[in-house]
Amino acid sequence: MRRPLIRKLEKFTRLSRADKEMLVRIAAQRVRRFAAREDIIHEGEKPEFINLINEGWACRYKTLEDGRRQIIAFFLPGDLCDLNVFILKEMDHSIGAITPVSVSEISRAAFDEMMIGHPRITQALWWESLVAAAIQREWTVNLGQRDALERMAHLLCELFIRLDAAGCTSDSSCEFPLTQTELGETLGMSTVHVNRTLQELRASNLIVLKDRTLTIPNLQALQDVALFNPNYLHLDREGRHLDANEE
């Protein structure tokens, strides 16, 4: 359950002992904790570090002048915020904690060190950032083409599979800390409609969601209603199946 980043990167490539030690060392350097709803970094600030989420859930979000808020991405354990952000002069969005989180700050120097001596890690981090981009694209498809039910189902599939890759599921269940308001801000729908939609998924026995725990009794069935195709997560190293689960 520890070291979700390593666990995730190994979905892409094998890492040597030295690679893993490097990652552990980097992640231990500057650790910060944030309370739920606290901002990790705010729009307009100068980014100085790459953030790595060790524990808890966070999100990117953006607020329009008139107060509407959109959640743009979720960061789960093992997720990195943006490689090389420090190139930009200021953040164009904020990153906030959803649950209490533990975050490692990676400095420019530490990052460069890692990129130079460890080609395996470099490759793996490139992969992780290409996947993050693919996820963002899929969200565009989700918001543009799918209706409320499909959209919700799609999000739940994605989160579940990503959590699984980070080693944060057990059987068909995972922690699920999002409120209906946050789901609405993510999927571009009102809380009322989020509620209706969740009811509908529950009524079809596609999900059980209670006490911050999500259970998906039949993932394939949920994927079917979502028109969910996991290829964009680029998780299979050798074309093997997700649940081959060989560690």
Partner DNA sequence: GAAGCGACCTTACCTATGTTAATGTCGGAC
Partner DNA sequence: GTCCGACATTAACATAGGTAAGGTCGCTTC
Binding flag, residue 148, DNA (CB under 7 A): yes
Q: Where are the beta strands (DSSP E) in 48-157?
A: 50-55, 58-63, 69-75, 94-97, 101-106
Helix 148-165 vs helix 191-203: angle between axes, to the nearest 10 degrees? 70
Which residue has 């998924």 as its token pair? 201
- Residue 83 · residue 121 · CB < 8 Å: no
| 62: partner contacted, choices its own copies, DNA, none (Cβ within 5-8 A by kind) | its own copies
What residues from 178 to 237 belong to the interface with DNA (CB under 7 A)?
Answer: 179-181, 188-193, 195-196, 198-199, 212
Helix/strand/coil for 32: strand
| 76: partner contacted, choices DNA, its own copies, none (Cβ within 5-8 A by kind) | none
| In the complex, least distance from residue 149 CB atom to its own copies, rounded to whole angstroms | 14
Residues found near its own copies in the complex (CB under 8 A): 60, 62, 64-66, 68-70, 72-73, 82, 84-85, 87-90, 92-93, 123, 126-127, 130, 133-134, 136-141, 143-146, 185-188, 227, 229, 231-232, 234
Cβ within 8 Å of residue 202, ≥6 positions away: 208, 209
What residues from 161 to 180 belong to the interface with DNA (CB under 7 A)?
Answer: 179-180
Cβ within 8 Å of residue 200, ≥6 positions away: 149
Interface with DNA (CB under 7 A): 147-149, 179-181, 188-193, 195-196, 198-199, 212
